[in-house]
Every structure is written in C-alpha cells, then in structure tokens.
Amino acid sequence: MTTDPPPFQGKRVAFAGKLGGVSRRQAQSLVTENGGFVMNQDDLEDANVDMVILGAEQWPPATVDELLPASVLTSVAEGKCEVITETQFWGRLGLLTEDQAIRRLYTPAMLAELLDISVAVIRRWHRRGLIVPVREVHRLPYFDFQEVATARHLAELLEAGASPVEIERRLEELARYVPDVERPLAQLSVIVEGRHILLRQGEGLVEPGGQLRMDFESLEQRAEEQRVIEVTRADVMRALEREEPTESARIIPFQNMIERAVMPQNPEDILAQASEYEEAGDLAMAIDLYRSFLAGYGLRAEVCFQLAELLYRTNDYAAARERYYMTIELDENYVEARANLGCVLIDTGELDLAVAALLGALKYHPDYPDAHYHLARTLDELGQTEKATDHWRAFLVLAPDSPWAEQARDRLS
C-alpha cells in the first residue's frame, strides 16, 4: 500500500507577511515536519525558493514590491516558484477538514462583531462578492481569516488616506500572482470627495465603515425624471378635463406610462431595486418591494429571509418572526433563519420558544457557533446553568477566536 509523500517534501519554503493562524516559528516547524526546508529572507531575495506562503494578516499588502522581491516575481512568472495563501497552506497540511475548518471560520454575525459594523453590511458585501465564503452549510456562509483581513485592511487603507487608484493597483497586482483569491473589487467605482474616500455601489456611496451616503448626482437625475413624469401627468389631466384626448393619451394610458417609467420589468429587477433601497437606507420601500415580489412571483426562502431581516431591523418583531417561520417552512435546512428566529424570540421575551428555535438550528447544523452562543446565554437567563455550560464549552471549542470567545471564557471561569 502506497502513501502520499508529505505535502512539502523537498521544497524550499519561505514566508512573507504576518501570519494569522499561528506564530512564524510554529508554521516553520510544520513545514519541516512535512518534508520541507525553511528558507530565510536572504534566500527569498535571491529567489532561492520553491514556494512562498503569504500570511493572512498581511492581506492586502502595502504593495507587492514590499512583500515579494522582483526576483521572486520573475521566478513566479517563469513557473519556477509557487505562491500560496495561508489558507491554502492549512489545506495542504490537511487541517481544513469539515470539522476543523469551521473552527477557523467566521459567520456573518461573528464577522460583523469583529469589525464593529452591522450584519447588514456584511450581507451586502457578501451579495456583491466583495467577501467570498469558503463554504456554506445549509445557506450559512463561513468566512476565513483571509476574508477578515481583506475587509479590515481595505477599511484601514481607505481610512489612512490611500488613494483609490493605489488600492486598486495593489489588488490587481496581487491577483496576478495569486489568481484563485482574486476579488471583484475592481468592479467598484472608487471616488474621492474632498478628504473622504468612498466606494460607489449601485447608485449609493459607501464610506469605509459601511455607512451609506446619498448620491446627490443620482438623486438629481431621479428628480429630473420625476419632474418629466409630473409634467406629462399634468398635461394629460388638463387634456382629460377639456375632453380632448391628446395623441399621447390615445396611444398609451397614463397609468401604463407611469408604471413603465418607474416600475421594474421583471422579478430580478424588483429584487435589485429592493436591494438598492435597502442600501440607501429606505428600508420601508425595500420591505414593500420584497413583499410585492413575494405576492406577484411566489414564495422564495431567501427572499422571505431578507424581508425578515429588514423587519427585524425596523423593530417589527411580530412580522419578522412570521417571515422567519415562513422561511423555515419553505426550507427546513435554513439554519440562519432558525437562529435569527431564536434571536427575535429572545427580544420579545419568549425564551422557551427561543430555546426551541436554537435547538432546531443545532439539529441541522450541530457545529453552528452562533446558535450555541445564543442558546448558552438564553439558558443562563432561564436559570438552566448546567445546560448553558455545555453550550458555552461547545461554542468555545468551535470558535476559540470569535469576538465573543472572551465572554465564554469569563462565564466558564
């Protein structure tokens, strides 16, 4: 029976940038234990290496030139040297199995807490492809520390005043050498307004912290379109009052003209427009559009979930609860809907029902750290401390690096 050789057998391996998972010394020991040779900085300068591992906490680097010498870049281009990310490093060591990988990953709620932004911003980034989950379990996305570092460093670079062109150039350069981690950030229009650096998303402008701004240029364009509609409407009404139908009124009824001017023409347009209103902060209009979609085109679990999220954000807990229930009825595996239903029930003081919802989430996804966390807190509140302790321990095993991990350690101590 043959066995596969160690993953780094005979390879000269160097590290570049700060590692996010373990210390540099620990990572070097892993390379040696798996048949590789750890090279120093001088070897990297001389391109005397077969592989370079980019640390996740260095993502994205200040510039590619600062992280990798020109000699290495040339060697990569010639196929003589391979560049991999820290995540790929763990994968080749066989440390990213189903169970182990989740322990190094972040759910949307955990990532939002870590970056001190709202979950809605994380979901928007996910929808637009700005952050890409490494896996999804029953519709629940998990992001690795590489994605965390990408989001954090991008915000830091913008906050520090790096020019949009420079940021895009760095990302484009990096993507050429690590093509499998390329992100669609280049699709965004990055603009500078005074001392502020903003990202254009759809018709909205987003500050580094995720705060949306009004795009007055877009608003003025919409206002002009509305003025045209109102003028046309006034002309039609005057003509009707004189009982002298105009040529326009005979060809196209006023109501049809208005609908064609302002209403989406297909289901996906409705969802896109709802998303735009959500990003602009007009949650009431977004809610109406999601409801219109469901009424006109049938029920979809993901749309019910999105509607529930907006209702939750507007503190309409009763309506949010019903939409989460509907999401689960449409897709019993939708574990994030089950967990969020539990959170709604906690907010409304229905703790026994909240426990049932969270246990339901764990039935379908036993390794869901958020569900263990919320369940542990709820059981503590109900005085069921022994059961709560089991879930605090499970949460800490599953997510030892979570922003909530310190709370779990304090509780267990």
Beta-carbon-side half-sphere exposure of residue 359 (alpha carbons within 13 Å)? 11
Residue 177 has a pLDDT of 55
What pTM, to 2 d.p., does this model score?
A: 0.55
Contact 26, 55 (CB under 8 A): no
Q: How deeply is 295 buried, as exposed, middle or buried, from its count of CB atoms within 10 A (0-12, 13-18, 19+)?
A: exposed
User: How many whole angstroms separate alpha carbon 122 and alpha carbon 130?
Assistant: 9
Token pair 């009824």 is found at 253
Provide the 8-state DSSP code for 190.
Answer: E
**Phi and psi, residue 80, nearest 5°:** -95, -15
CA 141 to chain CA centroid, Å, is: 8
The number of beta carbons lying within 10 Å of the beta carbon of residue 72 is: 24
pLDDT tens-place values along the chain, 413 residues long: 456 788 899 999 999 877 765 678 888 888 999 999 999 878 888 888 999 987 765 544 445 556 788 888 888 878 888 888 777 787 788 765 544 444 568 888 888 888 777 787 778 777 766 678 888 888 888 888 777 776 776 556 656 665 544 555 655 655 565 555 445 343 334 443 433 434 444 445 545 444 555 444 544 555 554 554 455 455 545 544 554 444 443 444 545 444 444 455 688 888 888 888 887 788 999 999 999 999 888 999 999 999 999 999 999 999 999 999 999 999 999 999 999 999 999 999 999 999 999 999 999 888 899 999 999 999 999 999 999 999 999 888 888 878 888 899 999 88
Q: How deeply is 116 buried, as exposed, middle or buried, from its count of CB atoms within 10 A (0-12, 13-18, 19+)?
A: exposed
User: How many whole angstroms separate alpha carbon 5 and alpha carbon 101?
Assistant: 23
Pairing verdict, β 189-193 and 140-142: unpaired
182: left (phi over 0), alpha (psi -120 to 50) or beta: beta
DSSP symbols for 46-98: TT--SEEEE-GGGPSPS-HHHHS-HHHHHHHHTTS-EEEEHHHHHHHTT---H
User: How many whole angstroms separate alpha carbon 116 and alpha carbon 27?
Assistant: 29
Residue 235 has a pLDDT of 54
* Residues 6 or more apart whose Cβ sits within 8 Å of residue 212: 204, 205, 206, 279, 280, 281
**Phi and psi, residue 151, nearest 5°:** -65, -45
Provide the 8-state DSSP code for 4.
Answer: P
Residue 116 has a pLDDT of 73
Q: SS3 sequence, 191-245? A: EEECCEEEEEECCEEECCCCCEECCHHHHHHHHHHHHHHHHHHHHHHHHHHCCCC
Q: Which structure tokens are listed for 216?
A: 């007055």
Please report the domains of the chain, with CATH numbers, ordered by start residue.
Answer: 12-104+144-212 (3.40.50.10190), 267-412 (1.25.40.10)
Contact 108, 133 (CB under 8 A): no
Contact 8, 49 (CB under 8 A): no
User: How many whole angstroms separate alpha carbon 378 and alpha carbon 384?
Assistant: 9
Contact 162, 129 (CB under 8 A): no
